[in-house]
Amino acid sequence: MQTNFSIAQLADPNVSAVNDILRKCVHCGFCTATCPTYVLKGDELDSPRGRIYLMKQAFEDGTGATAKLAKHLDRCLSCLSCMTTCPASVDYMHLVDMGRTHVADTYDRPWHDKGLRWVLAKVLPYPSVFRLALIGAWMGKPFRKLMPSRLRAMIDLAPSSIAGPSDVDRPQVVKTDAEPRMRVAMLSGCAQQVLRPSINEATVRLLKRLGCEVIIADGAGCCGALVHHMGLEHEGHEAAKKNITAWENAETKYGKIDAVVINASGCGTTVKDYGWMLRNDDAWAERAANVSNKTKDITEVLTTLGLSGLTDTLRPKLAYHSACSMQHGQKLKTEPVELLKAAGFDVSQPAESHLCCGSAGTYNIMQPEWASELRDRKVKNIRDLGVNVVATGNIGCLTQIANGMGGDDAPVVLHTVELLDWVCGGPKPKELDRY
Ligand code: SF4
Ligand code: SF4
């Protein structure tokens, strides 16, 4: 794609990066076929190619973002399906990140949109605040019909019971009985530890049983993805710096960390991107790249370690839902499936497995109608398989798909690591009691 930036514009490293990305696009349109929003609506402006044109125009003009740009970028899920399809390796992920920052910096959103974004940025990354908000949401459930759609979407995402903080999420070192095979730092995250603490608990149990020393570093917290995807660049960078510092300090105190382990693929995609996010910051670029290079999804670490201690308990019929951040963001397509198979599960995958379930960070709150359409499509494809259990590696997908299932006979949605922990000698997830 031909671009028309001035020399002065290209002196800005971000504009220069935008230019490099745009020039790779040959406007072939292959990406439109696998873009969930284009598949749903058929509007070119809600396709990757359409959004790329809008961003090109905005960056070349160098003026503030328009309502049109904001609308079509807001409707993008950042699912990165387009990147998997693109034959020219266009780096849409970083382009849309910079596009969102441009919108956040220069576009004056309507007050209610600004207000909701502010609330989400101040609540979701902080487990104790989020826990209180969920209690409020739970109390608001009887009045949900009176609420606007975005508030209703928030209320609907609140679980029916809210567990207290888990012991496993406080800063600590979980030792092994023998010399550890690996020393890993586990990101305990933010929303996940409130919505489903059993995921971190299963992760630590399984890693320990397989011979890993697990560090929950003091000061590590939200990966920054939530604010980063809202275009809040400064806040995203601050979250990254906090985590980098926490893991560096842990390494100084406890010894070399072999891997930063992440069990939410959305967070993994972001932490693996810290090096790029902080590339223009001399004080942080190298430190961020070091962390990104040693960041692994839990299924990558388990593949390296190999499963052991498998029990002969009867496995339920299982479907694997690959989160977009897992298959498109981190390009991890085989590891989770192969692990589940090695653990004795008969694994099937739904039709249209490349399409997003509509969760996408805060998308199901900000764009509830489109998110629900995608969720219902995903749920139908899963239910067509006639399975008892759905495994996935991202808390956002887990919550979204479980909310769409409905009915007592519906498949149970669990994290991959909860299932692996169970069949390797851990406790049976309580949701499986009916099988
Ligand atoms: S597939 Fe790639 S090169 Fe083709 S239009 Fe989409 S982004 Fe551009
Ligand atoms: S990231 Fe997903 S929703 Fe956004 S343009 Fe690409 S395929 Fe479409």
Please tell me the predicted confidence (pLDDT) of residue 157: 78
Q: Whose CA is nearest to atom 5 of ligand 2?
A: 48
Cβ atoms of 274 and 307 closer than 8 Å: no
Q: Pairing relation of β-strands 259-262 and 182-186?
A: parallel
CB-hemisphere CA count at 13 Å for 7?
A: 0
Q: Please give the CATH architecture assigned to the domain spanning 167-303.
A: 3-Layer(aba) Sandwich (3.40)
Q: Whose CA is nearest to atom 8 of ligand 2?
A: 35
CB-hemisphere CA count at 13 Å for 231?
A: 21
Can you say how many angstroms the Cα of residue 287 is from the centroid of all Cα atoms in its chain? 22
For the chain, what are the domain ranges?
7-106, 111-157, 167-303, 307-434
Pocket of ligand 1 (CB under 6 A): 25-31, 48-49, 85-86, 88, 90
Q: What is the position in ligand 2's atom list of the atom closest to the CA of 80?
A: 1
In angstroms, the CA 158 to CA 254 distance is 38
Please tell me the predicted confidence (pLDDT) of residue 138: 82
Please tell me the predicted confidence (pLDDT) of residue 158: 81
Please tell me the predicted confidence (pLDDT) of residue 409: 84
Mean pLDDT, residues 284-311: 98
Q: Which one, of 222, 235, 238, lies nearest residue 169 by Cα?
A: 222
Q: How far is the CA of 109 from the centre of ligand 1 (A)?
A: 29
| pTM given for the model | 0.96
Residue 335 has pLDDT above 90, yes or no: yes
CATH code for 7-106?
1.10.1060.10
3-state secondary structure of 261: strand
Cβ atoms of 415 and 392 closer than 8 Å: yes
Model confidence band, residue 15 (pLDDT cutoffs 50, 70, 90): very high
Q: How far is the CA of 83 from the centre of ligand 1 (A)?
A: 8
Q: What is the position in ligand 2's atom list of the atom closest to the CA of 83?
A: 6
Please tell me the predicted confidence (pLDDT) of residue 137: 85
Identical fold between 167-303 and 307-434: yes
Please tell me the predicted confidence (pLDDT) of residue 140: 82
Please tell me the predicted confidence (pLDDT) of residue 58: 96
In angstroms, the CA 434 to CA 427 distance is 15
Q: Whose CA is nearest to atom 2 of ligand 1?
A: 86
Domain 307-434 has CATH 3.40.50.1860: yes
Q: How far is the CA of 314 from the centre of ligand 2 (A)?
A: 39
Q: Whose CA is nearest to atom 2 of ligand 2?
A: 79
Phi-psi region of 147 (alpha: psi -120 to 50; beta: other; left: phi over 0): beta
Please tell me the predicted confidence (pLDDT) of residue 146: 78
Ligand minimally distant from the alpha carbon of residue 46: 2
Please tell me the predicted confidence (pLDDT) of residue 48: 98
Q: Average pLDDT over the chain, rounded to whole?
A: 95
Please tell me the predicted confidence (pLDDT) of residue 324: 98
Task: Summarize pLDDT for 18-54 with one digit per residue, the tens.
Answer: 999 999 999 999 999 999 999 999 999 999 999 999 9
Q: Point out which residues pair with 260 in neighbouring strands.
A: 185, 295
Phi-psi region of 431 (alpha: psi -120 to 50; beta: other; left: phi over 0): alpha
Task: Summarize pLDDT for 156-168 with one digit per residue, the tens.
Answer: 878 878 888 999 9
Q: Which two tokens stand for residue 433?
A: 């009691």
Q: Whose CA is nearest to atom 8 of ligand 1?
A: 25
Cβ atoms of 348 and 316 closer than 8 Å: no
Model confidence band, residue 389 (pLDDT cutoffs 50, 70, 90): very high
Residue 434 has pLDDT above 80, yes or no: no
Task: Summarize pLDDT for 250-292 with one digit per residue, the tens.
Answer: 999 999 999 999 999 999 999 999 999 999 999 999 999 999 9
